[in-house]
Amino acid sequence: DGGITQSPKYLFRKEGQNVTLSCEQNLNHDAMYWYRQDPGQGLRLIYYSQIVNDFQKGDIAEGYSVSREKKESFPLTVTSAQKNPTAFYLCASRAGAGEQYFGPGTRLTVT
């Protein structure tokens, strides 16, 4: 089945550690996105990529980094510089001018 997978579903880390969230899609979509969701807030864009080996900062990129070495994969690294990393992270992909399709998300808890 075609779709977007994010792993793991729940992730726990100690403060000061970098952590990488996985996002893989087999939809052959060119564009991929990372969003952050906090309670009482909508989704906010962290980074996006429209093509392999290219990506741009979204509205809240500070403390995050990404790579796009393959069309299918767009991993997000939450660095120790991110002051409030505990959140729900959603990955999405889009083909052409079509809609964004979302993965199931990863809940990151940093203590």
Partner 1 sequence: AQTVTQSQPEMSVQEAETVTLSCTYDTSESDYYLFWYKQPPSRQMILVIRQEAYKQQNATENRFSVNFQKAAKSFSLKISDSQLGDAAMYFCAYRSAQTGTASKLTFGTGTRLQVTL
Site of interaction with partner 1 (CB under 8 A): 31, 33, 40-45, 48, 50, 56, 58, 88, 90, 92, 94, 97, 99-102, 104-105
Nearest approach in angstroms of CB 69 to partner 1 is 19
- In this complex, which beta carbon is closest to partner 1, that of residue 4 or of residue 110? 4
- In this complex, which beta carbon is closest to partner 1, that of residue 27 or of residue 43? 43
- In this complex, which beta carbon is closest to partner 1, that of residue 7 or of residue 18? 7
Long-range contacts of 105-108 (CB under 8 A, 24+ apart): 105/6, 105/9, 105/37, 106/6, 106/7, 106/8, 106/9, 106/10, 106/11, 106/21, 106/22, 107/9, 107/10, 107/11, 108/11, 108/12, 108/13, 108/19, 108/21, 108/78
